[in-house]
Structure 1
Amino acid sequence: MADSEQGDRPSEGRHVIYCGVCTLPPEYCEYGGTVKKCQEWLEANQPEMYAKIWSPEVLEAATAALSVDAQKRAARDAQKKAAKAEAAEAKQNEKLASSTITIKRIERNKKKFVTAVFGLEAFGLDLKKVAKDLGKKFATGSSVTKVPSGGEEIVVQGDVSEELEEFLLEKYKDIPGENIELVDDKKKKKAAAAAAT
């Protein structure tokens, strides 16, 4: 019976807007850690919705119903959240500034090389996607492997270390050029022969 009643009315879809910063609906941005950035994004991209949620009149109306003590607590809580968000953002920026990406050319056999890339996960990149992009770019095999130290690396067949650096800087704009380090790892034949005797 309920199905026939709903069948008479066409169903209406809803258009939901998601924040470009935290990916939550704007009504819930205050529960994320990037409230200030979310507000700036909303004001620039959805001014009508910004006026409904964050305009001074709406905020004043929401706090007017609270007692004086509750208003003070809400203000303190808002300051604490803002301070926490700023501290987390500063910590993340510091981490990114100190992170390095190492591109290492490793000799396998006589004139055969592979190129290994470490440290991409610090910049929030999906290593499997990057490995796939590198495989397509250089028309060679590339894979994500675990390293004994606990992280992951991308191994690309062939000596493509310099081209790989250019590709990373061109495709991923968040990576600063000074954070990329090129390393050449050659097998020491004499040292290996001396150790064998």
Structure 2
Amino acid sequence: MAQVLYCDICTLPIEFCSFTKTLPKCKKWLQSTHPAIYDSLYESGETNASSSLSAEKEQKIEESLAKMQLKEQRKQERALKSLQNEKIQIRRIPRTKHKAVCVVGNLGVLNTAVPSDGQPSEPVDLKKLAKRMASKFATGASVDNKTDEIVIQGDVGPGVEELLQGVLKEKGLLGVVGIEHVLEKNFLKPVKKQPK
């Protein structure tokens, strides 16, 4: 039984790489890892394909593939740029006159950002991080999985920033992901004291 060789770039069998948007990367990978297979597949395959297809059709196919590859490359660049611009937000939201909650938002960046060394790290479990924060600050902390936020009771902004910098350092994301403080205004109207 013949073994099927899968591409590390597009994860398809190498015969189907020509139908993907990542064809140049796939060719480079195949040439560097399996040069004999690359020669048999692309060097001899190009001469056979040119005889069966007309020159115009072949040119149209190459142009459309080039457009698709360019779009894919730009899409990946935009995604990388947006990840670099994202920051973890620490918001202090007043609840009542003297009480406040601290909301640590945009924590999904911890799991999607690529460390500076290029090696992907383990994803951050938000429940464990919330428990760690709750035990450190001796307060309540809960996770909102829909928005990737941790809500901490009390005004613990500077302590949260130190803890998050430690987590970023552990994951190798210290220079990649930033931390930003956001102050939100109290939406409660001030109570006017009436003279007696």
> TM-score, normalization: structure 1?
0.59
- The structure with more helix, counted as a fraction of residues: 1
- CA RMSD, 1 decimal: 4.1
* Cross-structure match for 1:183: 181
Query: 1:155 aligns to what SS in structure 2?
Result: strand
Aligned to 1:9: none
Say if 2:78 is the partner of 1:78: no
Deviation at 1:116, TM superposition (A): 0.9
Counterparts of 1:103 and 1:58, CA distance in 2: 53
Change (3 A) 1:88 1:184: closer
Consecutive unaligned residues in structure 2, runs of 5 or more: 114-122, 136-140
1:61 aligned residue (21, 35, 48): 48
Distance 1:106 1:49 in 2: 59
Higher relative contact order (CA 8 A, sep 6+): 2
1:172 Cα deviation from its structure 2 partner: 5.8
Cα distance, 1:113 vs. partner? 5.8
CA distance in 2, matches of 1:166, 1:43: 42
2:88 — aligned with what? 102
1:155 to 114, 139, 150: 150
Deviation string for 1:60-92 (max 9, x for gaps)? 333332122222223322322333233323333
User: What secondary structure does 1:22 align onto?
Assistant: coil
- Whole-Å separation in 2 of the counterparts to 1:48 and 1:156: 57
**CA 115–39 in structure 1, closer or farther in 2 if over 3 Å, else same:** farther
Q: Where do residues 156-171 of structure 1 align in structure 2 (5 Å cutoff)?
A: 157=152, 159=156, 160-171=160-171
Name the CA shift for 1:66/1:86 in 2 (closer, same or farther; >3 Å). same
Q: 2:126 aligns with which of 105, 122, 131?
A: 131
1:35 aligns with 2:33: no
Alignment coverage as a number of residue pairs: 171
| Residues 144 and 153 in structure 1, CA contact (< 8 A), matched pair in contact too | yes
**Identity across matched positions, percent:** 23
